[in-house]
Amino acid sequence: MTPHPPPPVNYLRLSITDRCNLRCLYCLPAGEFDKLPSREILSYEEFLRLAQVAAAVGLQKIRVTGGEPLVRQGVVEFLRRLTRVPGVAKVCLTTNGVLLPDLAADIHAAGVRHLNLSLDTLDAGRYAALTGGDHLPRVLAGLERALRLGFQPLKLNCVVLQGINDQELLEIARLAKDDPLEVRFIEFMPLAAPERWQAHFLPMAEVRARLAALGPLIPVAADPTAGPARLYQPPGFRGRLGFISPVSSHHCPTCNRLRLTAAGRLRPCLFSAEEVDVKGPLRRGATDAELAQLLIGAARLKSRRPCPPGSALPAGSRAMRSIGG
C-alpha cells in the first residue's frame, strides 16, 4: 500500500509576545524566566509582513498566541489588519481569557471568529493556585461574552493535571452540553519542570475512561486544518469534546503547522530545539522571495517520524510562553 503523503504545512502560529498575566504551573519553567527585551520582539509591522509572505506560500490559517496575546498593546488593531492580509483565510486567537470581558466585542468586530480559551478548572481557589491569578470570574465572564457574540469555533483548552484538576473532568466536559463549544482535553507535555510532569501527567486514555459516565462518545469528523484533536459528541450534547494526546501519541506525521516565536524564529517542531531565524534577515532587508524561502525551508525541516512517546523538549529549549503553545 502507498503511504499517505504528509499533509501540506498550511498553518502558522504567531507568538506575538512572551509576556503573560498568568503563571500557569504547566507552562512556567522551573527557574526564573527572562523576558525578551522589547526590541527583540517582532513589531506588528514585521508580523504582518511575514503573514503576507506566509499566506502566499500556502500558510493561510494563522493563529495569534503568546505569552498572553491580549496583554500586548494594540492587539485589536493588529488582529483587524491581520484578517485583511491578502491570502490569509482564517485568523484564530488563543487567550487565557482574563482580558476577554473588555476585549471580546472589539476582537469580534476586528473580524476574528476562531477563539480558543484556556480553562483548566471551574474552582476559583484551584484556578488561583494553578495560574497564580485570582481571575476565574473574569474568564467565565469572557466565555459568556464570547458565546453571546457568536465566535465559532469556540474551543476551551483544558490541560489535564493528575491531582490538580482531574476530579473536575466531567464537570468541565459538561460545559459543552448546552452550548456550541468544543471542550478539548490536552495531555500535560513535559515542557517545563520534569518533576512537575512526573507528578501530574495523566494519559488521555485515562481521561476518556473517566468520561464514560457521559455515555458512548460518537466520533465526529474534524475540519482538515483543525489540528490534532480527536473529536467526539456524547449523546444529548450540543457541543463536542476533543482529545489531544501529544505525549501518548505524537502527531508528527500529520502535523501541518509552523510556529513563529516572539523573537522572530521559526520553529518547525515543538519537540525539537531546531529554529530558523527570520528576524535577522527581515531586519537586514530581505526580499519577500527570500523570506518565502526561509518559510519553505522551515516547513521542510519538519520531521515526519513520530517522536518516541513521552519525549520531552531537549534541555535548553524555550519555555512554552516564548514558543507560543
Binding positions for ligand SAM, rule: CB under 6 A: 20, 26-27, 65-66, 68, 94-96, 118, 157, 159, 186, 188-189, 191-192, 320-321, 325
Q: How far is the CB of 116 from ligand SAM (least distance, A)?
A: 6
Cβ nearer to ligand SAM, comparing 72 with 90 = 72
| Nearest distance in Å: CB 2, ligand SAM | 34
C-beta of 67 vs 239, nearer to ligand SAM: 67
Residue carrying C-alpha cell 466565555:
143
Write down the least CB distance from residue 244 to ligand SAM, Å.
8
Q: Which is nearer to ligand SAM, 164 or 282 (CB)?
A: 164
Closest CA to 310 of 169, 164, 190, 156: 190
* Minimal distance, residue 25 CB to ligand SAM, in Å: 9
Cβ proximity to ligand SAM, 141 vs 286, nearer residue: 141
Nearest to ligand SAM of 281, 306 (CB atom): 306
The span from the CA of 75 to the CA of 78, in Å, is: 5
Which residues lie below 8 Å from residue 66, measured CB to CB, with a gap of 6+? 15, 16, 17, 18, 19, 20, 72, 94, 262, 321, 324, 325
Closest approach of ligand SAM to the CB of residue 224, in Å: 22
Q: Are 158 and 185 in contact (CB under 8 A)?
A: yes
Residue whose C-beta lies closest to ligand SAM: 325
Q: Which residues pair with 184 in a beta bridge?
A: 157, 242
Q: Scanning the structure block, which residue is given the C-alpha cell 499533509? A: 7
Instruction: Give 57 or 261: the residue with its C-beta nearer to ligand SAM.
Output: 261
Estimate the crossing angle of helix 44-56 against helix 75-83, to 10 degrees.
Answer: 20
Q: Closest CB to ligand SAM among 53 and 121?
A: 121
Q: Which helix (H) or strand (E) holds 12?
A: strand 11-15
Least distance CB 189 / ligand SAM (angstroms): 4
The DSSP bridge partners found for residue 243 are 185, 230
Residue 103: C-alpha distances to residues 69, 81, 84, 148 (Å): 12, 16, 19, 13
**Least Cβ distance, residue 235 to ligand SAM (angstroms):** 27
Q: What is the 3-state secondary structure (H, E, C) of 124-190?
A: HHHHHHHHCCCCHHHHHHHHHHHHHHCCCCEEEEEEECCCCCHHHHHHHHCHHHHCCCEEEEEECCC
